[in-house]
Amino acid sequence: MALAAETRTFQLPSESLEAALVRFAVQAGVSVGGLPARDCGGMSRAVSGSMTPAKALAALLPPGCRFEALDATSFRISGRTPAAAAAAPRRLETESYVAPRLDELLVTAEKRPELLARSASAISVLSADDVLALGGRSFDEVAAQVVGVAVTNLGSGRNKIFVRGLSDGSFTGKTQSTVGLYLDDVPITYNAPDPDLRLADVERVEVLRGPQGTLYGSGSIGGIVRIVTAKPDVTAAFGAISAEGMLSQHGGPSSGVEAMANLPLAGGRGAVRGVLYSDARGGYIDNPVLGLRDVNSSRRWGGRLAALAELPDGWRLEAGVAHQSIATADSQYTQGSDGPLTRDAHVREPHDNDFSEVGVTAAHAGGAADLKISTAFIDHTLTTRYDATGAFRAAGGSTTGGAFDEDKRIKLWAVESLLSSNNPGPLRWLAGAFASYADEMDAAQLVGVTPPEPARSIYRRRDRLLEAAAYGEVAYDITPRLTATAGGRWFATRVETHAGDFAIAAEPVAPVRGRLTDQGLAPKLRLSFAATPDVVVYAQVQEGYRAGGFNIPAAAGGGTIETVAARFRPDHLWSYELGAGLPLFDHALTLRGAIFHADWRDLQTDQRLASGLPMTVNIGDGSNTGLEAEAVWRPNPQLQVRANFLVEDPQITRAADVFPARRDIGLPGVPYDMGAADVRYRWRIGRFDAEASAQVAYVGRSYLTFDGGSGNRMGGYASGRIAAALSTPAWRATAYVDNVADEVGNTFAYGNPFSRSRANQATPLRPRTFGLGLSRNF
């Protein structure tokens, strides 16, 4: 059995089981037989890394399959017995479920499958089991358990995400996001906030830290957040349904339902999978001025439908559609002197966020290289109302009940092709091409609410951005332990802006028409050393970038004397890091960490004029130096402890004269320190699996804006959650308490740009919340 126990390097994509076993046999130097086997078929699981053939085969086989070693060079595949197959639940592989270890998780954030523990980059991953245990319905609810991630708290569908302290400001405007958000292989935003997609029926969430200009292009200066959905399963029909109810102190009740179904088609050559969901969140902010309680309630509903087909000659086709709508009745910030959970607004501030995505991916598993072609269309619409009572006085704005209405619609088309090698050996490569087109329509108007008055346009603008790129990456094993990786992305961008309809300007303002082009090369270099197959140390340098754009003249806001630069320039960021992954005590403890430094030139930031109108400026240069670490300790199958922390020094190193900025308060919205921990314990109670868990997260102090000020301070709080669950293969019941200590905190010192000068604004945590959940697998 010597050969079967020999460690080999495997690069095995997800493909039809027959093709996967042929590829496995070639790379392992063994023979495999036994197919067709009853209850064993469908798509294989991707495998990447150095391991024994037996371990690779175990990771490769889909549910319903097993194998035995016949001799040193032969394996036989078989299916589970009918009784065992019928008894086995879809999520549980054994009678008592054991979540995958950190070193067993596969990630694809770097465009090819690889084992997380052997990845020479700063990647964190939350598996579906992690998301379930953390009670994560949205990314912002689990973000604290990922090292280096900060999220603003303006409201559902309105938040910005920052990774590794690389913040361009707390407000959302015309700058492209610093963090790229992806649903599977598709970018789902350009400069819009996080659409707050519910984490329904997902396989995992991956976070890739640091600029990713080479593989992902513009808008990835801070990193990548990638939601990987569960794929259609061709082996069996199954489904699940769940419901939950919650009660928040000082607030209204909340609820949620979710249903998933999977159906094989065409004799196991295809499948469809769908999920539907709806949740409602009770409010907890009162408005004494309007005599209303719990005004900030919200509702979210949506779903996804995905189809998979295995085609002749090794092709696989995937197609899907997703939609989600969020309707928020009012903002969730506090202001005024009526109490800690009140706001003295004269007008309600609703927000709607509608997101739709249609995508198609064709993949071919070849003998020497795999090809993937993806295309998608995104339609994202946002409508927001702010209380603007007393604002725009020079333009005749209402002094008793006026509103600023902002409408945004983004259409985003993207297509990408990727060719990647899969043969084992010292040389590995990938090459790709990418193109995207974003068409964004923005409009703002001044509305008299009390008394009712006709709406007047403040501005209308249209922005078109075209990006094209070709990229590649080559990794070469200089020695069996030392690997050098080099990559580059050539890119070209074009921005076109047309703006006008400045109806409330004190004097006529000429329409804005402009065009900007930019091109360049974003390189990446990495050197990694495997002290053992599981201990990887790496050093890396890479670049990120964003395109420039245009501003609306300040005079469009009425009688203002402010001036704004007509355009803002592209910005670029260089990142340098040294990282390592270290498994200890026979993989019972896994440590991953990195030391990093980033230099940011011509930092773009979205800010607000005194009138409340948005503007974008190059505020100067910035930097960040930090230490990040995460650990997972699993001494036995029952206990798991996760922990992470980040200590950093984000700052402005050179302040331009276009906007006030202090060099001693860091970058907006990101603290100097943050950390979190998650403890879980599982045991058996009769025929039930029991689980208890507790989480805690700490967010350090930060400021809302570059200029600081006591009213802009936020953070400096900790929050916690406890939960317990009982489950069988068919049922799961959960009870939990969020914000156990009923911490108020100030998560975000902002809510409305038109009333900030009147009084401080703060956004508290949702009060202590008690919840019950019940789910059924079938």
Of 600, 507, 514, which is closest to residue 557 (Cα–Cα)?
507
Tell me whether residue 405 is in a domain: yes
Summarised one tens digit per residue, pLDDT across range 324-352 is 999 999 999 999 988 889 999 999 999 99
Average pLDDT over residues 371-385: 96
Give the position of tokens 């960040």. 624
CA 309 to CA 99: how far, in whole Å? 29
Higher per-residue pLDDT: 619 or 69: 619
Burial 540-550 (b: 16+ CB within 10 A, else e): bbbbbbbbbbb
Summarised one tens digit per residue, pLDDT across range 34-75 is 777 777 877 787 776 667 888 888 888 887 788 888 776 778
Higher per-residue pLDDT: 471 or 397: 471
E strand or H helix at 22:
helix 17-28
Please tell me the predicted confidence (pLDDT) of residue 366: 80
Please tell me the predicted confidence (pLDDT) of residue 576: 97
Please tell me the predicted confidence (pLDDT) of residue 559: 64
Q: What is each CA distance from 711 to 391, 664, 702, 748, in whole angstroms? A: 20, 16, 11, 11
Domain boundary among 88, 112, 135: 88
Please tell me the predicted confidence (pLDDT) of residue 313: 82
Domain boundary among 88, 104, 129: 88
Tell me whether residue 744 is in a domain: yes
Of 307, 417, 404, which is closest to residue 373 (Cα–Cα)?
417
Please tell me the predicted confidence (pLDDT) of residue 7: 67
Summarised one tens digit per residue, pLDDT across range 398-455 is 888 999 999 999 999 999 999 998 877 789 899 999 999 999 999 999 999 998 988 9
Average pLDDT over residues 93-108: 49
Tell me whether residue 401 is in a domain: yes
Of 689, 715, 587, which is closest to residue 105 (Cα–Cα)?
587
Residues in the chain: 778
Please tell me the predicted confidence (pLDDT) of residue 91: 37
First to last CA, the chain: 41
Confidence category of residue 115, pLDDT binned at 50, 70, 90 = low
Tell me whether residue 147 is in a domain: no
Tell me whether residue 110 is in a domain: no
Is the confidence at residue 1, as pLDDT, over 60?
Answer: no
CA 135 to CA 478: how far, in whole Å? 44
Is the confidence at residue 2, as pLDDT, over 50?
Answer: no
Residue 82: which CATH number? 3.55.50.30
Cα atoms in the Cβ-side hemisphere of radius 13 Å centred on 48: 21
Is the confidence at residue 512, as pLDDT, over 70?
Answer: yes
Please give the tally of structural domains in the chain.
2
Is the confidence at residue 92, as pLDDT, over 60?
Answer: no
- For residue 446, give the amino acid letter: L
Residue 422 and residue 434 in contact, taking contact as beta carbons nearer than 8 Å = no
Of 467, 458, 553, which is closest to residue 514 (Cα–Cα)?
553
Average pLDDT over residues 214-237: 90
Summarised one tens digit per residue, pLDDT across range 238-296 is 999 999 999 999 999 999 999 999 999 988 889 999 999 999 999 999 999 999 999 99
Please tell me the predicted confidence (pLDDT) of residue 82: 42
Looking at every residue in the chain, the average pLDDT score rounds to: 88
Average pLDDT over residues 106-135: 80
Q: Are strands 334-335 and 351-365 parallel, antiparallel or unpaired?
A: unpaired
Tell me whether residue 321 is in a domain: yes
Domain boundary among 57, 72, 88: 88
CA 677 to CA 147: how far, in whole Å? 10
Residue 750 and residue 763 in contact, taking contact as beta carbons nearer than 8 Å = yes
Residue 458: which CATH number? 2.40.170.20
Confidence category of residue 587, pLDDT binned at 50, 70, 90 = confident
Tell me whether residue 144 is in a domain: no
CA 416 to CA 467: how far, in whole Å? 12
> Measured in whole angstroms, how far is the alpha carbon of residue 53 from the centre of its chain?
34
Is the confidence at residue 4, as pLDDT, over 60?
Answer: no
Tell me whether residue 285 is in a domain: yes
Domain span at residue 460?
Answer: 224-777
Please tell me the predicted confidence (pLDDT) of residue 96: 39
Please tell me the predicted confidence (pLDDT) of residue 22: 73
Please tell me the predicted confidence (pLDDT) of residue 776: 96
Confidence category of residue 80, pLDDT binned at 50, 70, 90 = low
Q: Which residues have C-beta within 8 Å of that of residue 497, sequence separation ≥ 6? A: 461, 462, 463, 464, 512, 513, 514, 515, 549, 550
Higher per-residue pLDDT: 508 or 596: 596
Average pLDDT over residues 512-536: 91
CA 560 to CA 60: how far, in whole Å? 65
Is the confidence at residue 579, as pLDDT, over 70?
Answer: yes
CA 187 to CA 203: how far, in whole Å? 18
Summarised one tens digit per residue, pLDDT across range 472-505 is 999 999 998 899 999 999 999 999 999 999 999 8
Residue 188 and residue 766 in contact, taking contact as beta carbons nearer than 8 Å = no
Please tell me the predicted confidence (pLDDT) of residue 86: 39
